[in-house]
Amino acid sequence: MKVKPKKTKSSPARSKLEELRTGSNAPLEVGGSLESKIGNEVRQLRKELELTVAELSTSAGISTGMLSKIETGSISASLGTLNALSKALNVPISRFFRETEEERDCSFVKAGTGVKIERRGTKSGHHYQLLGQSIHGELGVEPYLITLNEDAEAYSNFRHAGVEMIYMLTGKVRYRHADQTYLMEPGDTLFFDAAARHGPEELVKAPMTYLSVIIYPRRN
């Protein structure tokens, strides 16, 4: 009599948690394992010196099979092996870890200490405080705190690359995007394609402050 193995069912709660691995719908940052990063660096250095796997393995005193597994990230090389490879490739051992040293930006701005800068709206009495800025990566991100006082003027002819989000903090403004206008009050959000004409069309209740976050592709 054959006994059928019991199938284990994952609980719905656990499955849901496994799906929600990040705080948003953004995919997980996949940069590869430490082994694969070291392997990529070894392979690149070997090719720069125009060495075959057999030639480098002989020079380092390891087997071709081991070198192949190191380059593909299949195994974790010991420090002794990495030291032998660094000598054979004539590089410091720290060179193998270059890919693991990628910078991750972070900025912290205390209340009231944002950098005051001038933009196209400055002539219309719009005050800008830059609250941070991404330095690396393919996307530029610029968060602003924008203030419009009683002496400010409406200006709705902004256009630029990327997308923008407006989050209303105080006051009341009628904000234009393309052919539509939106009456924005504290707590309201507007997200839009920034290539279309946009900006405050009517200053309903001053002073007005809102958070503006602009995201755009960097030019190479």
pLDDT in tens, 129-152: 999 877 666 788 899 999 999 999
Q: Please indicate, yes or no, if residue 122 is contained in any of the structural domains.
A: yes
pTM for this one?
A: 0.58
Q: Kindly report which listed range (2-16, 23-37, 98-112, 169-183) carries the lowest average pLDDT score.
A: 2-16
How does the average pLDDT of the chain come out, rounded? 83
Q: What is the CATH number of the domain that holds 119?
A: 2.60.120.10
Mean pLDDT of the region 87-115: 79
- Total domains in the chain come to 2
CATH value at residue 96: 1.10.260.40
Residue 101: the pLDDT is: 58
Q: What is the pLDDT of residue 115?
A: 83
Domain boundaries, position 55? 32-101
| 138 and 82 within one domain | no
Strand ranges (DSSP E) for the chain?
115-117, 126-130, 139-148, 163-177, 180-184, 189-193, 198-217
List, for residues 24-72, the tens digit of each pLDDT value: 666 655 556 788 888 988 999 999 888 999 999 999 999 999 999 999 9
The answer to whether residues 91 and 162 belong to one domain is no
135-159 burial by CB neighbour count: b if 16+ within 10 A, else e?
eeeeebebbbbbbbeeebebbbebe
pLDDT for 198: 96
- Asked if residue 165 has pLDDT above 80, the reply is yes
